[in-house]
Amino acid sequence: MVTVIFPAAGVGRRMGVGKNKALLNLCGKPILVRTLLAFSGCDKVDDFIVAVGAEEVDEVSRMLDKTPGLKPFRVVAGGSERQYSVQNALAALSPDAEIVLVHDAARPLVTTKTIEAVVAEAWRSGAAIAAVRAKNTIKIVRGDGVVESTPDRAKLWEVQTPQGFRCDILKEAYRRAEQDGYLGTDDAALVERMGLTVHVVEGDERNIKLTTPEDLWTAEMFLGRDALGAAKESVKNAGIEFGEMLDELADKVSDAAAKVKAYAEKQEEKK
Ligand code: CTP
Ligand code: MG
């Protein structure tokens, strides 16, 4: 059984709208709903645990109850850091869960292909993350603004979610992080510090984390392009259907004309 944990308990400070950005509307649906629907369309995952602010649990539960097409879900209270939100969700994990995926609620544009690739690699090796190759040169810079070094770009990847793990591995990684007071910036970091191997699967450039208002505009553009593509396709199909209808009509009209002509000729002969 594969369970997906969605940390969605942030306050969206950088989005600057004064509320949890996961509940913001993106082209007609809340971001969180779009993210959950993206995973609901994948038959390799079974159920969800969503971590939101303690005071948002009721509101979000009601909202998701009213949303058709979602996989079974539970809503739990998150914590003051993303890691604590995931930790709370892990505590609610069913004993039947074998693989657990963690996915930022703020990444609604994730594709089925990426989800399936992470699930498959997690089943195979126990620890998998989605990532894309770094496009920019990245420098290590000292606190005083002086460049220290330039890591080889060919080895640099920008990490995304989903990240997928065998449940026993991720639970143990979280237990040890708590014990050591370690706070990581992604889930895999907690697994890496146990000395375990984490495998990268190539993600998708569109799977951005909606962090600032500019990211929202980018997401709107992607969704707008998809909608336009779908609309063009259906106009094209409608055009083809209309063309076929006209052909049939033309055939019928010429049949009818031939019958009228034959009748007229018969009448002519009778005279
Ligand atoms: N998250 C969480 N619990 C927290 C902080 C973050 O569950 N205490 C979640 C967010 O809701 C988001 C994901 O982790 O889906 C990635 O975090 P981020 O993009 O940093 O979101 P926020 O923390 O909400 O944004 P900001 O850092 O700008 O305040
Ligand atoms: Mg944050």
CB-ligand 1 contact for 80 (6 Å cutoff):
yes
Residues in the chain: 271
Residues 225 and 203 in one domain: no
Q: How many domains does the chain have?
A: 2
Residues 204 and 235 in one domain: no
pLDDT tens figures, 23-62: 999 999 999 999 999 999 999 999 999 999 999 999 999 9
CB-ligand 1 contact for 74 (6 Å cutoff):
no
Read off the pLDDT of each residue in 141-154 and give the average, rounded to a whole number: 97
Domain endpoint, select from 165, 189, 209: 209
Nearest-atom number in ligand 1 for the CA of 79 is: 8
Residues 33 and 94 in one domain: yes
Strands (E), the chain: 2-7, 25-26, 29-30, 47-52, 73-77, 99-102, 127-133, 140-141, 147-149, 157-166, 199-202
Nearest-atom number in ligand 1 for the CA of 86 is: 7
Range of the domain at 251: 212-271
Question: For residues 48 and 89, is the Cβ–Cβ distance under 8 A?
Answer: no
CB-ligand 1 contact for 5 (6 Å cutoff):
no
Closest residue by Cα to atom 25, ligand 1, is 12
Q: How many CB atoms lie within 10 A of CB 208?
A: 18
Residues 12 and 119 in one domain: yes
DSSP annotation of 36: H
Residue 184, pLDDT above cutoff 90 = yes
Ligand 1: centre distance to CA 81 (Å): 8
Ligand 2: centre distance to CA 158 (Å): 17
In this structure, which ligand is nearest to the CA of 22? 1
Domain endpoint, select from 163, 186, 209: 209
Residues 43 and 104 in one domain: yes
Residues 203 and 219 in one domain: no
CB-ligand 1 contact for 183 (6 Å cutoff):
no
Residues 75 and 190 in one domain: yes
Ligand 1: centre distance to CA 107 (Å): 11
Q: How far apart are CA 111 and CA 130, in angstroms?
A: 11
Exposed e or buried b for every residue in 5-33, given b needs 16+ CB within 10 A? bbbbbbebeebeeeebbbbbebeeebbbb
Q: How far apart are CA 70 and CA 72, in angstroms?
A: 6
Residues 126 and 74 in one domain: yes
User: Cα-atom radius of gyration of the chain, to the nearest Å?
Assistant: 27
Residues 50 and 183 in one domain: yes
Residues 173 and 218 in one domain: no
Residues 180 and 87 in one domain: yes
Residues 139 and 186 in one domain: yes
Q: What is the pTM of this model?
A: 0.89
pLDDT tens figures, 228-257: 888 888 888 898 888 999 999 999 999 999
DSSP 3-state of 63: helix
Question: For residues 100 and 3, is the Cβ–Cβ distance under 8 A?
Answer: yes
CB-ligand 1 contact for 105 (6 Å cutoff):
yes
